[in-house]
A and B are shown apart, each in its own frame.
Chain A
Amino acid sequence: MIIWRINEADVIHQEFDREVVVINLASGSYFNLPGVAGEIWRWLTAGGASAGDLALQAVRSFDVTPARAQADMEAFLGQLQARSLIVDASLAGQSDGAPRPEAEMSPVVPRAPYESPRLQAYNELQELFLIDPVHDVDPEVGWPQVAVPHTAPRPTTPTRAVATDARVLESVRRPAAADVITAWLPELAIAVNRERGVFCVLSGPAVAAWRLLQEGPVRLHGDAVKESLVECGLVESAPEAAVDAPEITAPGTAKVDRSIEEQIRPWSPRVRPARSAAGAQARQFCERLDLWFDAVAGADAVDSRHRIAGQSVTVRTIAGQPSGALRAAIAHSASSIGADQPDLVIRAFSGNAANASPIVANLLLMLKTNWEAACGPRGEVIDLHTDRTSAIFTAGPDVLSVVDPEAGRGWLVKLDDRPYPYWEIGSPFRFLLHEYFASKGLQFVHGAAVGDETGAVLLAGPGGSGKSTTALVCAAAGLRYCGDDYCLADSRTRSIHSLYGTAKLLGHGDFARLPELRGLSANSDGFEHGGEGKGVFMVNEVWPGRVVPSMPLRAIVVPRIDVLGSTRWEPCPAGEALAALVPSTVGQLPGASQEDARRLEQLVASLPSFHLFVGSDIAGIPTAVRDLIAACG
């Protein structure tokens, strides 16, 4: 006996004057259930019911024989099931003992006239229902539900480690199109596939295999390694190349990691554009941006001068515009040195694209209406992606960043007059500064840095690893602070430079540890002002003088939350530091290239690496960090 119940996941329904209208959102069909049919539907809504239950109910309510009622119920339930309006309660995860309508003890008097239940089905508006995006929303998960990226299969677990199986030999090659950056250590390689937001940590002979794969097909023993590489989109089978390809015989390991997929996956399914030779168009575009800035600014241009990693940077904004708020994050680096000859000038302003010159206006309009057509996977603006200039467009906030590192010029243009979102307030000019400092051999790192008068540690790891907490608790305890999200590292001099004197907190709960910050967030879209964003805090406003421009770097530290243990540190393999730095840095910076991976390799190779286990004794963190720095001095 099957107990049926309404397929609530896909169906919405309502009763109107003894008729019931039912809509199947998954198929886009709708139905009318008049009279007896509507009554049966009502009984089904009370819980689960079998054909027999419903026939019994029908005989008590309507003028119908038991035999006809039973036959009609079975036929009608069949129709409902065929259209997925009802489901077998036992298959739908509900036990057989689902609540069933209480059979009424005495017949309804007088019994109503009976007609066989009819289901009127309508399909003519299916297309209209189906273009409605509502069916994507899982009622269990609710909104917003994060999209599954185009190319990647749905991850089942965040990470998966596999050992190799040496029995299988197969030829594979690296697909030409894959957007991959690899960082190497002697015994380890980290290959980041930015097309899929996934990375693979290779060790043992798998490293040599991956190195050979840069040149051409490889014959690979061990189907587990191959499977991992295929899963990451790093290789594909190449059966035709089996004969003369080099062969890797010993096993190794390949560990797939999807843990930061949300941060590094593409925004659109485009292929990353190749850089073209800078033509007149890119040059003219930059010139017109300057003219446009001058036209918008009139006499209201405001300059602030900064010294960042030894370079003099001038930020030019317009009085009264939201871009003024971007200066707070770099206020700690304000300096009058080098004011006459800035190395880099950034013009940051808001403008209505309609008022720009046609060459600028055309591109901006394209970006506003259809950025995917004009940009690469992370908003790289194809027309400005040249050997001289780079540009990205962030749709949503509608911010265009353009940089010409060689000329020392950058532009940040907001195409509306709304305020900047918290991530721009907290880490402004990220794209420009990354490209500019890369041209000077300095490396943007996704990490925090704190230290004392003798040196500093670089804290690396994804959000939630304890990186920001550690940095802020150290700042609160009097340690020096270089930033909690992005810093500039120089492996040649083993030093760390501050970019942003900001800190970000997720919510009110963070004030328990850091009460000094309460009420001081600088951004209007943060949780302190009723928004949904993080709160951005200017560390020097909370603790004056705490943010320093540069510190000697002593170690790379990978924090791990360990609430049950005590706060302690211990050496860790360099590969752990590399894995904590490379994927999140090259994945989040659209302008990152193989060069970034190379500079990060050098940084990791030049410093010792440690795990810092962050325990429940928060007060022990600054002491542990000081001890660690002293041990490395």
Chain B
Amino acid sequence: MRVSIVIPALNAAPFISDAIDSCLAQTAGTFAFDLEILVVDNGSTDGTADLVRRRYGAKVVLLAEPEPGIAHARNTGIAQVTGDTLALLDADDLWLPGKLALQTAVLAERPEVDLVFCHGVEFADPPGLAPCRMEPRPFLSSSALCARRSAMDKAGPFPPFRSGEFIAWYGLATARRLTTHVVPETLVRRRVHATNSTRNRALLADYPAAMRWLIERRRELGLETEPSR
């Protein structure tokens, strides 16, 4: 099994080594997969790409996606993967050891499962300076997702919104009858810091558009009534 990891990055120099190191650490211990890490630079101006190139060299495939938006960056990365299994990681989040081993085992044992999520916790960076939820909870979010490549093809690309793109994508994936499994282990740590995009209320402006997109896709699938005029 080959697991391809797609990490979209926009001005992530302070965090991305932690993220990549946490990917590389997945191969510690017993595992039955090899790794492919793709970092998609989404127009960083802080030397993210240079840092990744210098520090990781051939261990990481570095791609560039000039069109702004995390969805574009993710889609560009997903189009280039060579693995039969795909995992997403946001550049400021971390995986805990054993995440891929556990999730790939679920995919191997349960052919009916398409998407595997896990539990996660938040941590503040710097410590103490941001509100965060330290209790583990189910993380139906990008950094927690490990999926079959075939399922990603079935779900389709991420819609091009600045926020809500993962929620809308997941909504369509379930509308297309993809099966989700959430493992009870805490395997993801989400970094909460001042520049988290979801913390910025202005960026939430795209949430309604993302949900509108989902409603329209569901109408196309015949799952919604057409609006009456």
Which residues does chain A contribute within 8 Å of B207, judged by CB atoms? 12, 23
Question: Does B222 have its Cβ within 8 Å of any Cβ on chain A?
Answer: no
**B131 pairs with A265, CB closer than 8 A:** no
Residues 23 to 39 of chain A near chain B (Cβ within 8 Å): 23, 25, 30, 32, 34-35
Which residues does chain B contribute within 8 Å of A19, judged by CB atoms? 212, 227
B140 touches which one: A21, A122, A128 (CB < 8 A)? A128
**A115 pairs with B208, CB closer than 8 A:** no
Which residues does chain B contribute within 8 Å of A379, judged by CB atoms? 127
Measured between alpha carbons, how far is A12 from B212 in the docked complex, in Å? Answer: 13
Residues 48 to 65 of chain A near chain B (Cβ within 8 Å): none
Measured between alpha carbons, how far is A35 from B225 in the docked complex, in Å? Answer: 13
**A21 pairs with B208, CB closer than 8 A:** yes
Which residues does chain B contribute within 8 Å of A353, judged by CB atoms? 21
Taking the closest CB of chain A, its distance from the CB of B79, in whole angstroms, is: 24
Taking the closest CB of chain A, its distance from the CB of B50, in whole angstroms, is: 12
Taking the closest CB of chain B, its distance from the CB of A456, in whole angstroms, is: 33
Interface string of B211-229 (1 = CB under 8 A from A): 1100100000000000111
Residues 77 to 113 of chain B near chain A (Cβ within 8 Å): 94-97
Among the stretches B3-11, B149-157, B198-206, the one at the interface with A is B198-206
Residues 35 to 59 of chain B near chain A (Cβ within 8 Å): 55
**B128 pairs with A267, CB closer than 8 A:** yes
Question: Does A492 have its Cβ within 8 Å of any Cβ on chain B?
Answer: no
Measured between alpha carbons, how far is A370 from B122 in the docked complex, in Å? Answer: 11
Taking the closest CB of chain A, its distance from the CB of B196, in whole angstroms, is: 7
Measured between alpha carbons, how far is A379 from B124 in the docked complex, in Å? Answer: 13
**A137 pairs with B127, CB closer than 8 A:** no
Among the stretches A140-148, A164-172, A280-288, A513-521, the one at the interface with B is A140-148
Residues 19 to 77 of chain B near chain A (Cβ within 8 Å): 21-22, 24-25, 55
Given A22-B208, A144-B130, is A129 in contact with B125 using a C-beta cutoff of 8 Å? no
**B212 pairs with A131, CB closer than 8 A:** no
Taking the closest CB of chain A, its distance from the CB of B206, in whole angstroms, is: 9
Which residues does chain A contribute within 8 Å of B208, judged by CB atoms? 12-14, 16, 21-23, 30
A128 touches which one: B132, B166, B205 (CB < 8 A)? B166
By beta carbon, the residue of chain A nearest B128 is A267
**A23 pairs with B211, CB closer than 8 A:** yes
| Selected A-B contacts with CB under 8 Å, 28 pairs | A13-B208, A14-B205, A16-B208, A32-B215, A124-B171, A127-B138, A128-B166, A128-B167, A131-B137, A131-B139, A131-B141, A133-B122, A133-B199, A139-B201, A143-B200, A146-B129, A147-B131, A268-B127, A269-B134, A352-B55, A365-B97, A368-B18, A369-B22, A369-B95, A369-B97, A370-B94, A372-B134, A395-B126
Which residues does chain B contribute within 8 Å of A21, judged by CB atoms? 208-209, 211-212, 215
Q: How many residues of A contact B (CB 8 A)?
A: 56
**B127 pairs with A395, CB closer than 8 A:** yes
Measured between alpha carbons, how far is A127 from B17 in the docked complex, in Å? Answer: 29
**B198 pairs with A134, CB closer than 8 A:** yes
Question: Does A125 have its Cβ within 8 Å of any Cβ on chain B?
Answer: yes
**B199 pairs with A131, CB closer than 8 A:** no
Residues 324 to 371 of chain A near chain B (Cβ within 8 Å): 352-354, 365, 368-370
Question: Does A136 have its Cβ within 8 Å of any Cβ on chain B?
Answer: yes
**B189 pairs with A369, CB closer than 8 A:** yes
**B198 pairs with A132, CB closer than 8 A:** yes
Interface centre among A14, A35, A115, A353 (most CB of B within 10 A): A14
By beta carbon, the residue of chain A nearest B126 is A396
Residues 3 to 25 of chain A near chain B (Cβ within 8 Å): 12-14, 16, 18-19, 21-23, 25
Measured between alpha carbons, how far is A13 from B206 in the docked complex, in Å? Answer: 10
A35 touches which one: B22, B127, B228 (CB < 8 A)? B228
Taking the closest CB of chain B, its distance from the CB of A117, in whole angstroms, is: 12
**A268 pairs with B134, CB closer than 8 A:** yes
**B211 pairs with A30, CB closer than 8 A:** yes
Which residues does chain B contribute within 8 Å of A111, judged by CB atoms? none
Question: Does A160 have its Cβ within 8 Å of any Cβ on chain B?
Answer: no
Question: Does B179 have its Cβ within 8 Å of any Cβ on chain A?
Answer: no
Given A144-B194, A369-B96, is A35 in contact with B201 using a C-beta cutoff of 8 Å? no
Which residues does chain B contribute within 8 Å of A13, judged by CB atoms? 208
Question: Does B176 have its Cβ within 8 Å of any Cβ on chain A?
Answer: no
Taking the closest CB of chain A, its distance from the CB of B220, in whole angstroms, is: 15
Beyond the given A147-B124, A267-B124, could you list 10 further A-B residue pairs with CB under 8 A, ordered by the A residue number?
A: A19-B227, A131-B141, A132-B167, A144-B194, A268-B134, A368-B18, A369-B22, A370-B94, A395-B123, A395-B127
Taking the closest CB of chain B, its distance from the CB of A140, in whole angstroms, is: 11
Given A134-B198, A134-B201, is A115 in contact with B228 using a C-beta cutoff of 8 Å? yes
Which residues does chain A contribute within 8 Å of B158, judged by CB atoms? none
Measured between alpha carbons, how far is A602 from B200 in the docked complex, in Å? Answer: 50
Question: Does B177 have its Cβ within 8 Å of any Cβ on chain A?
Answer: no
**B167 pairs with A136, CB closer than 8 A:** no
